[in-house]
Chains A and B, each alone.
Chain A
């Protein structure tokens, strides 16, 4: 199960809407081993494409160095699908390289309603998991 604060869900969805019709992508880092997504890091989609995303290679190195220095790991790796459902594509599955991450997919195909779903992708096998959104205390 992915447990994630409402504020972070809103940031992911806002990023996906802002970059529509291109795919948006990014990471939420958290302390290594905590499974707690904390630090929102939107990334540039170097492919600038409605059907593909890829972190720029220089940005990727900076991101992983920074996480390493802070004792973090990518707890969530998110990207959007802008014309299809929020389910990992064959390409997503083939390229998934973080077996410990929650792969979050957002679909922006509907202008009014988004889909927000989370998956584990390990050794080519996709497993959907429940998402528990933690609402702010009022």
Chain B
């Protein structure tokens, strides 16, 4: 397996941020085993960059989960129901023949 290219700007002394990124995503999903979770929590006590990564990732995913998305615009709603009524009416007519 080839070596993954590291982004030097993301590497803190003593921290392999490539691995940390994977752990951070799993941490946000609550999928880390206790040992890995502890390792991550201890690490972010002293690593500013990784703490920031975990925090912003958590907030991003949390925001996505909270985001309800746009309402269906009135025009879209009206057009949908108009087409549906046409199709349903045509089905009814076919059945009654």
A binds B: no
Q: Which residues of A contact B (CB under 8 A)?
A: none
